[in-house]
């Protein structure tokens, strides 16, 4: 079994595995304008990025609070935690462990994070 060596893997990198719950993440500061309430902290790690930068795979975590965002074209799977994601002009999504979620590029969202949420994602730019 090949494990992730904590560097960004590219298209020619060997296959690897990451144990998501224990993966070490790095701070990704939020724009203060995105914070609606609370003191949420975001961390993440890019695991793989295509040479042209159009495909990105990684891990992301946010602690409780309420934040706004403009989404990328993304598929993610929640590993732990719970949140309500309100899509402006669209659905309200209740997400938790084991849920797969698809967000459309340009969706304006409000995330109410009830329990620290960790996800694995794939973004298409």
pLDDT tens, position by position, 92-109:
999 999 999 999 999 999
- Supply the CATH number for residue 106's domain: 2.60.120.10
Number of C-beta neighbours around residue 115 at 10 A: 12
Name the β-bridge partners of 111: 67, 85
Q: Given this model, what pLDDT does residue 11 score?
A: 65
What does the DSSP assignment read for 82-107?
Answer: EEEEEETTS-EEEE-TT-EEEE-TT-
C-alpha–C-alpha distance, residues 24 and 45, integer Å: 8
Number of C-beta neighbours around residue 119 at 10 A: 24
In a domain, 2, yes or no: no
Q: Strand, coil or helix: what is 96? A: coil
pLDDT of 1 above 50: no
In a domain, 4, yes or no: no
In a domain, 31, yes or no: yes
The fraction of the chain above a pLDDT of 90, given in percent, is: 89
In a domain, 69, yes or no: yes
pLDDT tens, position by position, 14-50:
899 999 999 999 999 999 999 999 999 999 999 999 9
In which domain, by residue range, is 115 found? 20-124
Q: Given this model, what pLDDT does residue 14 score?
A: 86
Instruction: Please give the model's pTM, rounded to 2 decimal places.
Output: 0.90
Number of C-beta neighbours around residue 15 at 10 A: 7
In a domain, 6, yes or no: no
Q: Given this model, what pLDDT does residue 4 score?
A: 46
What are the tokens at 120? 């694995």
In a domain, 52, yes or no: yes
Q: How many domains does the chain have?
A: 1
In a domain, 1, yes or no: no
In a domain, 83, yes or no: yes
């Amino acid at each position: 079994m090949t494990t992730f060596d904590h560097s960004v893997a590219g298209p020619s990198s060997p296959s690897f595995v990451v144990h998501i719950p224990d993966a070490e993440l790095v701070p990704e500061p939020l724009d203060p304008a995105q914070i609606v309430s609370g003191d949420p902290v975001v961390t993440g790690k890019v695991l793989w990025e295509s040479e042209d930068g159009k495909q990105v795979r990684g891990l992301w975590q946010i602690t409780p609070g309420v934040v706004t965002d403009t989404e990328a074209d993304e598929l993610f799977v929640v590993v732990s935690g719970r949140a309500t994601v309100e899509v402006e002009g669209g659905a309200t999504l209740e997400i938790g462990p084991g849920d797969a979620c698809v967000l459309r590029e340009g969706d304006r969202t409000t995330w109410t994070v009830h329990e620290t949420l960790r996800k694995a994602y794939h973004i298409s730019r």
